[in-house]
Amino acid sequence: MSAAKRTASPAFGEDEIVALIRRLTGPPPKRLLTGIGDDAAVWQPSRSHRSLVTTDALIEGVHFPRELALRDAGFRAMAANVSDLAAMGARPVLATVALGLREGTTLDEIEQLYGGVVACANEARMAIAGGDLTRAPVLTVAITAIGEAAPARLKTRAGARPGDVVATTGELGNSRAGLDLMREPGSLSGDVAERAASAFARPQARWREGLFLAASRNVHAMMDCSDGLSTDLARLCEASGVSACIEAVPVGAAAAAMAARLGRDAEAYALAGGEDFELLVAIAPRAYAHLAARFRARFGRPLERVGVLREGSGVTWSRNGKEERIDRTGWDHFA
Amino acid sequence: MSAAKRTASPAFGEDEIVALIRRLTGPPPKRLLTGIGDDAAVWQPSRSHRSLVTTDALIEGVHFPRELALRDAGFRAMAANVSDLAAMGARPVLATVALGLREGTTLDEIEQLYGGVVACANEARMAIAGGDLTRAPVLTVAITAIGEAAPARLKTRAGARPGDVVATTGELGNSRAGLDLMREPGSLSGDVAERAASAFARPQARWREGLFLAASRNVHAMMDCSDGLSTDLARLCEASGVSACIEAVPVGAAAAAMAARLGRDAEAYALAGGEDFELLVAIAPRAYAHLAARFRARFGRPLERVGVLREGSGVTWSRNGKEERIDRTGWDHFA
């Protein structure tokens, strides 16, 4: 995730660990409809119901800078989980919270941290159903969120088809701009500084948008942009067995301002971003215009068209009349 | 939990934190049938089903000594969760695993740790349904386990009645003896050393026993003995609005040997223990003998009778012709 220092073992990355885990766990049993690798796992408590579960741990100094207000750290931790449910088209239902508290943590600090968790849960209309309390070397928040969906509305990363339009539910890069602003206070000012800070500190998980999009049979695949569009689109392509061509990057205003300030290309900055928690959606081409119009009417902002899917594999970026293959520039926590 | 050093803030304990969290989260919504405070939270995906969720984080140096084999640490982390489901009478279904890896962690270490998690999950016939991978200052395993139960078979801490017999599904104190043995290698030898070590390193969560007991309407309340009988029985009494009189403490052989070695009272040692993961059960008195006989026939060991419940509050211990009120001597992670 974005706040990570890029250090750690050079010998293997997240993919190698996931492969090891898949080998250890063996094939999923029949009742487990999707397992390791998608945004959330799905199981079937009864024929007409699907339950989903996802888990995310946030660790002080790794996922959030120590300077981040604890209330915001709690909010972000919950938002990451809600976003994983949103990405599958599920309605958030409840969450458990495991708190690790460092020595000397005060009740006031716990109230701030947990208050942020609850604020985000309330926005998503989900209940906190308990958890675990323990001491830890640094503040740790591990949240597991559970959601529910009707079987026909579940979306995975794997359903996208060649020809589909790829879109996002909003602009990208503002969260990364907020992280850079926190690292270098004063590097942005005015409205864009506000936007950057709030995109990073209180990201909005798109569960309403997820429910709306999941109701359409023309939405073939969804996931959330938690590790940067370049990385996440590559994952969607891999899961669906397609390739993608990016035609337009929806750059957020704060991202554009920060990229200008850093002397970097705004689109590349937004592409690498991460933790914007916008949903990445593959939509049948004939249905795109109508769905985008309904989306705008409902949410008051556009469904951002990013590009198209094709046969093949990999992700290309078309601009200035040239189409070039791009690498994953987002986050691998262990690379 | 047992391996914790007892340090941290003197101003407040776990109860104060839980009270704060209850205040922040507000009353549970209608669909959440039990929330914060029982072994697992229960919700209702459909009328005929109850789903349960529980979460537990284990942190190197806090919950397990660095000397513990990683495979055993993984096993224990999962066992704690399975035990919480067992305590409600639920069948384990699936789990998510959030791993925090310290810098320099090798793939081989991950394989050991995760291998232990999977070994315990396999014994409980549950699937690993994904999780989260992150860097952390020390090894961290946060597991969330989900189980299912028919509505009529759910047991909580709150159903015990005056007159009920209190029993456990096995002997107590062996896990604590294993921890003490690890701290002072060679302090036990032979068979009891083996028993102590395995009780601590690979505790057996009593999900089969939980399912068996949950099927009886004469079992009024259940919970697991994770923090020591003296603490956990006090919690059961508080939740049910009853008092308890302990008449016999089922002391494990390894606990008896370690208590002798330390020059301590064996029963007091076993009472304070913790992490034995035996179930603590309140049973209608007229049904006790028959249920205990069926339990022995099924599991090949006795249902251990501990004492009786009465009106009032608190826990007393009757021995040598005297009955004395006892304090909670188990673990509060923050006291």
Give pLDDT tens digits for B168-211.
999 999 999 999 999 999 999 999 999 999 999 999 999 999 99
Residue B265 C-alpha from the chain's centroid:
23
8-state DSSP, B125? T
Q: What is the mean pLDDT of residues B24-28?
A: 81
Task: Give the pLDDT of residue B14.
Answer: 75
How far apart CA B108 and CA B115 sit, in angstroms, is 10
Write the residue in B8, B32, B146 that is nearest to A127 by C-beta.
B32
Range from A63-67, A258-262, B290-294, B329-333 carrying the lowest mean pLDDT:
B329-333
Collect all residues of chain B within an 8 Å Cβ-Cβ radius of residue A40: 130
- Which residues numbered 35-54 in A keep a CB inside 8 Å of some CB on B? 35-38, 40-41, 43, 45-46, 48-49, 51, 53-54
If DSSP codes are grouped into helix, strand and coil, which group holds residue B222?
A: strand
Helix residue ranges, H only, chain B: 14-25, 70-86, 107-123, 174-183, 190-201, 207-214, 229-240, 253-262, 266-272, 285-299
> Which residue does chain B place closest to A48, by CA atoms?
B46
How far apart CA B129 and CA B127 sit, in angstroms, is 6
Q: Go through A217-243 and write b for each residue having 16 or more CB atoms within 10 A of its CB, e for each that does not.
A: ebbbbbbbbbbbbbbbbbbbbbbbebb
If DSSP codes are grouped into helix, strand and coil, which group holds residue B255?
A: helix
Mean pLDDT of chain A: 88
Q: Go through B267-277 and write b for each residue having 16 or more CB atoms within 10 A of its CB, e for each that does not.
A: bbbbbbbbbbb
Among A73, A98, A202, A208, CA closest to B77 = A98
If DSSP codes are grouped into helix, strand and coil, which group holds residue A197?
A: helix
| Residue % of chain B over a pLDDT of 70 | 93
Rounded to whole angstroms, what are the CA distances from B287 to A269, B217, B227?
Answer: 70, 10, 28
| Contact: A130, B38; criterion CB under 8 Å | yes
Task: Give the pLDDT of residue B67.
Answer: 77
Give pLDDT tens digits for B9-18.
445 777 788 7
Instruction: Kindly list the structural domains of chain A, giving each domain's residue range(s) and its CATH number in brackets, ordered by start.
Output: 31-153 (3.30.1330.10), 165-325 (3.90.650.10)
DSSP string, A70-137: HHHHHHHHHHHHHHHHHTTTPEEEEEEEEEEE-TT--HHHHHHHHHHHHHHHHHTT-EEEEEEEEE-S
What amino acid is encoded at B145 in this protein? A
Rounded to two decimals, what is the model's pTM? 0.84
How far apart CA B249 and CA B177 sit, in angstroms, is 16
Give pLDDT tens digits for A161-197.
999 999 999 999 999 999 999 999 999 999 999 999 9
Find tokens 């089903």 and name the residue. Answer: B49
| Contact: A135, B333; criterion CB under 8 Å | yes
Q: Is the pLDDT of residue B301 over 70?
A: yes
How far apart CA A74 and CA A69 sit, in angstroms, is 9
Q: How far is A46 from chain B (nearest CA, A)?
A: 7
Write the residue in B111, B128, B144 that is nearest to A96 by C-beta.
B144
How far apart CA A318 and CA A166 sit, in angstroms, is 14
* Predicted confidence pLDDT, tens digits, chain A (335 residues): 333 333 334 457 777 887 888 888 888 777 677 656 667 778 887 777 788 888 888 888 877 777 788 999 999 999 999 999 999 999 999 898 988 888 888 888 899 999 999 999 999 999 888 788 888 888 889 999 999 888 888 899 999 999 999 999 999 999 999 999 999 999 999 999 999 999 999 999 999 999 999 999 999 999 999 889 999 999 999 999 999 999 999 999 999 999 999 999 999 999 998 889 999 999 999 999 999 999 999 999 999 999 999 999 999 999 988 999 987 765 555 54
Q: What is the mean pLDDT of residues B155-169?
A: 96
> Which residue does chain B place closest to A42, by CA atoms?
B129
Determine contact: A24 vs chain B, CB below 8 A: yes
Task: Give the pLDDT of residue A187.
Answer: 94
Give pLDDT tens digits for A277-332.
999 999 999 999 999 999 999 999 999 999 999 999 999 999 988 999 987 765 55
